[in-house]
């Protein structure tokens, strides 16, 4: 494992993203459209609904943002990477870049939500922890599953089919934790949820790291 290689690759990813700004712009526009759609369908959103809608918007945003990465690259690019670096370095680079992308996208969606639908959260610190933990969870899951889908050479629907069943229970836990940040003032109320979320992140990361090397050869 060479951290420098991984870092260089992650840098290259973000640079090429920056050069084709239209794709990144499309993702931001997608976020704006989703929030607008919610705004026009509900107008006024109750706090209970707010957290659910926020996470649904984030979930569908991340399906779009993360599944395109591997599907675009194709087989030839994969062979090129294969000659350059090891599987773990590749995964680390992709995860670093995807987490950065998701944090930017998530923050942007949240800003839009605050702008159009208000901000019912009381405990901002805990909310930030849950948001970050949830986003990292989604990123690891989607990155790994999109590798599986990409190697089959089939359409993006496969990514959704593979990830959504696993995302449903995660979403349920994250949403109920988010709802608690709207009423509670003490950390003890959601320490359990936070603990579970971090344990799950570690589990997902461990599984991805252990299993990724088997996807490496074509």
Partner 1 sequence: MRISFMNLVKTAAVVLLSYTVVAGLLMPVPRLEILNETIRNLYFHVPMWFSQIVIFSVALYHSLRYLMAQGNSKISLKEKQKIDLAAYSAVTVGMLFGVLGLLTGMMWANFTWGAPWSSDVKLNCTAIGMLMYLAYFVLRASFTDEEKQSRFAAIYNVFCYVLFVVLIFVIPRMKEFSVHPGNGGNPAFAKYDLDSYMRMVFYPAVIGWICLSIWIWDILRKYREVLLFRSLQD
Question: Which stretch in 23-31, 93-101, 124-132, 145-153 sits in contact with partner 1 by CB under 8 A?
Answer: 145-153
Q: Is 183 in the site for partner 1 (CB under 8 A)?
A: no
Interface map 4-23 toward partner 1 (x if CB under 8 A)? --------------------
Indicate the residue among 14 and 215 with the shorter CB distance to partner 1. 215
C-alpha to C-alpha distance for 213 and 8, rounded to whole angstroms: 20
DSSP of the chain: --HHHHHHHHHHHHHHHHHTHHHHHHHHHHHHHHHHHHHHHHSS--HHHHHHHHHHHHHHHHHHHHHHHHHHHHHHHHHHHHHHS-HHHHHHHHHHHHHHHHHHHHHHHHHHHHHHH----S-HHHHHHHHHHHHHHHHHHHHHHHHHHHHHT--THHHHHHHHHHHHHHHHHHHHHHHHTTT--SGGGTHHHHHHHHHHHHHHHHHHHHHHHHHH--
* Contact pick of 25, 74, 118, 169 for partner 1 (by CB under 8 A): 169
Q: Is 166 in the site for partner 1 (CB under 8 A)?
A: yes
Q: Please state the closest distance from residue 20 (CB atom) to partner 1, in A.
A: 28
* Contact pick of 196, 198, 205, 209 for partner 1 (by CB under 8 A): 196
* Contact pick of 36, 77, 154, 187 for partner 1 (by CB under 8 A): 154
Query: How many residues bind partner 1, per CB under 8 A?
Result: 24
End-to-end CA gap in the chain: 21
Question: Which stretch in 30-38, 73-81, 113-121, 159-167 sits in contact with partner 1 by CB under 8 A?
Answer: 159-167
Indicate the residue among 68 and 151 with the shorter CB distance to partner 1. 151
* Contact pick of 4, 44, 83, 165 for partner 1 (by CB under 8 A): 165
C-alpha to C-alpha distance for 12 and 89, rounded to whole angstroms: 14
Indicate the residue among 27 and 136 with the shorter CB distance to partner 1. 136
Q: Which residues bind partner 1 (CB under 8 A)?
A: 144, 148-149, 151-152, 154, 158, 161-162, 164-166, 168-169, 173, 192, 196, 200, 203, 207, 211, 214-215, 218
């Amino acid at each position: 494992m060479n951290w420098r290689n991984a870092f260089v690759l992650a840098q290259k990813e973000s640079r090429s993203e920056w050069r084709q700004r239209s794709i990144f712009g499309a993702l931001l526009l997608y976020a704006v459209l989703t929030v607008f759609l919610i705004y026009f369908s509900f107008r006024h959103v109750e706090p209970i609904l707010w957290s659910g809608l926020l996470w649904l918007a984030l979930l569908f945003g991340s399906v779009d943002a993360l599944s395109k990465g591997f599907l675009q690259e194709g087989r030839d690019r994969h062979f090129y990477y294969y000659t350059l670096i090891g599987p773990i370095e590749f995964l680390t680079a992709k995860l670093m870049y995807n987490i950065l992308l998701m944090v930017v996208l998530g923050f942007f969606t949240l800003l839009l939500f605050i702008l159009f639908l208000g901000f019912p959260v009381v405990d901002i610190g805990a909310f930030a922890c849950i948001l970050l933990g949830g986003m990292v969870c989604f990123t690891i899951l989607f990155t790994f599953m999109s590798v599986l889908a990409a190697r089959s050479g089939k359409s993006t629907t496969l990514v959704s089919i593979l990830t959504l069943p696993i995302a449903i229970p995660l979403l349920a836990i994250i949403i109920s934790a988010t709802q608690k940040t709207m009423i509670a003032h003490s950390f003890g109320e959601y320490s359990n949820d936070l603990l579970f979320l971090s344990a799950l992140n570690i589990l997902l990361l461990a599984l991805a790291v252990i299993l990724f090397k088997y996807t490496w050869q074509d």
